[in-house]
Amino acid sequence: GFGIIFGSFADNNSIKDCLVYNAAAENISVSGNNNSIDNCKSYSDDNQTEHSSTDYYIVLAGNNNHVTNCYAERIGNLDHVGHGIGFKEFSQNSLIENSSSENLSGGFYFRHSAVFNNTIRNCHSSNDDIGLLMRDGAHDNTFENCTIDNAYYAIAYLDSFGEDDAAINTAEANVIKNSIITNTRQAVIAYHEYNRPSAVVNNSIENCTIDNATNLFYSARANLSNSMTNSIISNVTNYTSGGTALDFNFDHSNFYNNGFSTPTGLGNLQLDPQFISSSDHHLQASSAMINAGDINYTADADDVDYDGDVRIFNGIIDMGVDEFNDMIFANGFEP
């Protein structure tokens, strides 16, 4: 069944202040262009059969669409793992922002090779099996200024037969930036084996803060030229699980209090990042993360940190999500 559905010729429409509950196949689905979904909630708690528990909670399959202030939640351990808020099939130049997911397998997602140039911004994943899912050829998308907390896999890549068999790679050239990933139950980055062989290629993580995880990687899929830069990784027990070799580059990133040796890489550090607290990942004024990022990093005109403060302050980019600004700090605008 379907809750609210806009077909491929449904353009320039709005869905606002709606709640959809247990529609089964898709609670809210938009396939047209230039549509908006604002302040809507999507739930499922139906566990009578796998087919009655909702599959897609909010799904976009058109261009230039906008989702804001929405919420998706799978209530309980339902037969279907459920997919939260995201893009699939044919979707470009669309935005999901200020939205949240709870207890889903792909709280947010980019899916299929015709899904590119989309952005997920200022969103929150909580208690999801997968916080951010990229699969079936999705490429050149951005996930920024978000949080992923208590996920089994914070970021997962997979590919499946019958979804987009023309896709060459699992996922390519997607960017995760200015995001906080905390309390990961299994792996922060999962190159998952399911189920079509392909490679995860040239995806990057930039200015992120990763704190408290069992494994940094789960590697069971081919991977090539992926990277992390200007980031902070702390309190992670193991480097990797799974049997596939990693091709991953770290540079200008800080590793602290982890259960593994710091990876080699240009500009990597092993220092206490001096967060404000265990739950507040802003930097103290004495933090060595300030001005410790890549000296050659050039900020764009719209480049900001997790809070929306301008990068770069004082000449060199900081590591992690927070671009420390002592003028803002002194005036009390940040904790």
251-302 per-position pLDDT tens digit: 999 999 999 999 999 999 999 999 999 999 999 999 999 999 999 999 998 8
Nearest to residue 108, comparing CAs of 89, 82, 90?
Answer: 82
Burial 26-43 (b: 16+ CB within 10 A, else e): bbbbbbbbebbbeebbbb
Which distant-in-sequence residues (6+ apart) come within 8 Å of 64 by Cβ?
Answer: 33, 34, 92, 93, 94
pLDDT at 331: 42
Please tell me the predicted confidence (pLDDT) of residue 95: 99
CB 76 within 8 A of CB 101: no
Rounded mean pLDDT, 4-30: 97
pLDDT band of 333, cuts 50, 70, 90: very low
Q: Which two tokens stand for residue 320?
A: 């992690």
Average pLDDT of the residues of the chain: 96
Q: Rounded to 5, what percent of the chain is helix, strand, coil?
A: 0, 45, 50
- Here the tokens at position 161 are 């037969």
Cα distances (angstroms) measured from residue 169 to each of 107, 172, 176, 315: 22, 7, 18, 37
The domain segmentation of the chain, as residue ranges, is: 1-91
Note the pLDDT tens digit of each residue in 117-158: 999 999 999 999 999 999 999 999 999 999 999 999 999 999
Q: Indicate whether 335 pLDDT > 60.
A: no
- Predicted confidence at residue 334, as pLDDT, reads 46
pLDDT band at 40 (very low <50, low <70, confident <90, very high): very high
Under a CB-based contact definition with an 8 Å cutoff, are residues 62 and 94 in contact?
Answer: yes
Q: Rounded CA gap, 335 and 333, in Å?
A: 7
Tokens of 266: 């240009």
Exposed e or buried b per residue across 162-199, where buried means at least 16 C-beta atoms within 10 angstroms of its C-beta:
ebbeebebbbbebebbbbbbbbbebbbbbbbbeebebb
Question: What distance in Å separates the CA atoms of residue 203 and residue 107, rounded to the nearest whole number?
Answer: 19
pLDDT tens, residue by residue, 43-97:
999 999 878 999 999 999 999 999 999 999 999 999 999 999 999 999 999 999 9
Is the Cα dihedral 197, 202, 208, 213 positive or negative?
Answer: positive
Is 334 strand, coil or helix?
A: coil
Please report, rounded to a whole number, the percentage of residues in the chain having pLDDT higher than 90.
93
